[in-house]
Structure 1
Amino acid sequence: MFERVGCVFPGQGSQYIGMGKSLAAQFKIANDSFEESNSYLGFDLKKIIFEGPEEKLKLTAIQQPAILTTSIAIWRVLQQERQFNPIFVAGHSLGEYSALIASEALTFGDGVKLSHLRGTAMQEAVPVGRGLMAAILGLEADCVGDICKQASAEDEIVVPANLNSSLQIVISGDSNAVQRALDLAKKVGAKRAIPLSVSAPFHSPLMKPAAERMKKAFNEIDFHSLKTPYISNVDANLHADSDGIKDRLIEQITAPVLWDSSMRTILGLNCHEILEIGPGNVLTNLFRRLEGAPEVKSLDTLESLLSFVNGKV
């Protein structure tokens, strides 16, 4: 049942009020995960996740540890109910921290604290209103890259930020430059070119102050040997040892997420099944649109998790 299974963990935008609540009610190990996060952070993250308000959960400094905690609560239940060793782990942006916890390279406590700091640092890296992110659908990566170069100016830049699939790319940068890029994308035939409701221009050079803050924090963190190889966002390569993890996580803050390339790396691993572990099903849907992808399951609810461990799906 668990032969040649890989695990992927979602990033920002997958959160919703009540995620993990039914899981915590049924499994002590899940509830303990939320309580642990509270103790690491010094505030009641669990209450925000389970009860809201939504405006607070959307704050990136809250959203990041919330998604990470929910993902690891699901992972711990899965390991408790039907222990197995995946052949790889990977995560989208923030999800890379969840993947590293699952691989035992990073402790849960360090991951919770780092994700909270990461969210805070990314939000505070630029003044509110200066940055923007937007999604462009229907154009190839090279075309979007050229558009970003045309739309950028000396003091206003826009870059590809998330290469989610061959025809779904998120751009990020100064608000004016992003808007110019959207106008250009529409002119050359993009199916959709729309601003996103996010609080900062993530995965762009504007995040350099956040990268510097995280670099200092990583100096206090010890990464352990990887139990499971992981795929990095910044190079889409499979890494079997912990050398370079810190540098790649720092680079990730200002560099694009190479998710489409990561999925293609996974296709070459002879993986029989992929599990998305965390809230939502964004990564599941991206895999299902990829030709040649193995079976993919999203384990984001108590029902889907129980069905999986009991062999009903």
Structure 2
Amino acid sequence: MSFALLFSGQGTQHPAMLPWLAHDDRVRDTCARLGIDDWRSALADPAWAELNDHAQTLLTGLALAAWDQLAPFVPPPAAVAGYSVGELAAFSVAGVIAPDTAAALARLRARAMDRCAARVPGGLLSVSGLSEPGLAQLRAEAGAELAIRNGSANVIVGGPLAALDTAERIAMAAGAQCKRLRVHVASHTSWMQEAADSFSHALAAVPFRAPRIALFSNAADRIRNADSARAALAGQIAQTVRWDECMENVMARQVHCVLEIGPGQALVRMWNQRCPTVPARACDDFRSAAAVAAWLNSHAEP
């Protein structure tokens, strides 16, 4: 059997996500870290849900809880990758860091990014429908940077709020489709370099191991040892997320299906557009852990 796990990033979290997730010890631990009793009720408040600290801590804890509840019913994945903060869960599932460590690091990561954002408020803007030269011109004129590369015509730019306003105006005038993301920091751009440096310093004291599963990074292709894992986790905070390359790397493992763990179906949609011959589903599509496991077990056979 051969399947890949993709762990979602933040921005699409919602109260009804992971409808089958049981309130187990890891979910309770995640709620305790956030000082809440019920994470679904907390997510019903958009102001609470969009805070960087809340989103990154919650999504990392829930992703790990979801995998804990699925893992007894399926074999180990053949490949793992995470989108932005989803890398913390991915690195944990691959055996690089302990689950409790990943949960604690999510809060450190978020707070380091928030300190940068307090000095230079910023965000992210999804842009699709522009050519490569058009995107390059947009970034140059607006003073924005390429934050995430999902495909040649599907990117996310980041930067200070004024730069995003200008980028959105230029893109709309050129006929592109734009959407502001529910992320209030200029993730994966040079405006987060101080956060990347701070996180790197924190990671130096954290036990890391070589991955037990093929693990692909947003910033460093395949992760093969502890040192490259540390560098990749810190570096991606201020570097472009090369998600298009992550998908190609996972596809090269010749997996038979892909499962997205996290809120929504954003990664599944991108996968199905790029790799339509390999079926992909999201955990949000199912009503029980047993149904997720049944789908994986039926599709992961050669």
Cα drift, residue 207 of structure 1: 0.8
CA contact (8 A) 1:122 1:200 kept: yes
Partner in structure 2 of residue 77 of structure 1: 69
Distance 1:73-1:142 versus aligned 2 partners, 3 A rule = farther
Structure 1 gaps of 5+ residues are: 26-30, 153-157
Gaps of 5+ in 2: none
- Between the aligned partners of 1:141 and 1:293, the Cα distance in structure 2 is 26
Aligned to 2:207: 222
Question: Relative contact order (alpha carbons < 8 A, sep ≥ 6): 1 or 2 greater?
Answer: 2
Question: Any residues of structure 2 matched to 1:81-230 within 5 Å, and which?
Answer: 82-127=73-118, 130-152=121-143, 158-190=144-176, 192-230=177-215
Q: What percentage of aligned pairs have identical amino acids?
A: 23
Find the aligned partners of 1:298 and 1:19 in 2 and give their Cα distance.
10
The 3-state SS of whatever aligns with 1:248 is helix
Question: Among 39, 50, 59, which residue is 1:49 paired with?
Answer: 39
- Counterparts of 2:231 and 2:208, CA distance in 1: 12
Cα pair 1:136 1:169 within 8 Å, conserved:
yes
Deviations 1:54-100 (A, max 9, x none): 321221101111111111111111112x1312111000000111101
Maintained 8 Å contact 1:19/1:49? no
Give 2:219's aligned residue. 234
> Which digits, 9 at most, give the CA deviation of each residue in 1:222-270, with x for residues without a partner?
11121111111013x2233333111111110111111112112222221
Q: Which amino acid aligns with 1:245?
A: A
Structure 1 residues 253 and 141, CA, compared in 2 at 3 Å: closer, same or farther?
Answer: farther
Deviates more, 1:208-217 or 1:140-149: 140-149
Q: How is 1:249-260 mapped onto 2 (pairs within 5 angstroms)?
A: 249-260=233-244
* Alpha-carbon distance change, 257 to 301 in structure 1, aligned in 2, over 3 angstroms: same
- Is residue 306 from structure 1 mapped to residue 298 from structure 2 by the alignment? no
Amino acid at match of 1:33: R
1:265 aligns with 2:257: no
Matched AA of 1:255:
Q
8 Å Cα contact 1:185/1:193 also seen in 2: yes
User: How far did residue 140 of structure 1 move?
Assistant: 3.5
CA contact (8 A) 1:23 1:301 kept: no
CA distance in 2, matches of 1:22, 1:306: 9
* TM-score, structure 1 normalization: 0.86
Which of 26, 49, 62 aligns to 1:33? It is: 26
What's the CA shift for 1:309? 2.1
Which residue of structure 2 aligns with residue 7 of structure 1? 5
Separation (CA, whole Å) in 1 of partners of 2:38 and 2:159: 30
| Alignment partners' CA distance in 2, 1:283 and 1:212 | 28
How far 1:175 sits from its partner (Å)?
A: 2.0
Larger deviation: 297-306 or 116-125? 297-306
Deviation of 1:36 (Å): 2.9
Match of 2:263 among 268, 272, 279: 279
Q: TM-score, normalised on structure 2?
A: 0.89
Q: How far, CA to CA, are the matches of 1:291 and 1:102 in structure 2? A: 23
Q: In structure 2, how many angstroms separate the alpha carbons of the residues matched to 1:75 and 1:170?
A: 28
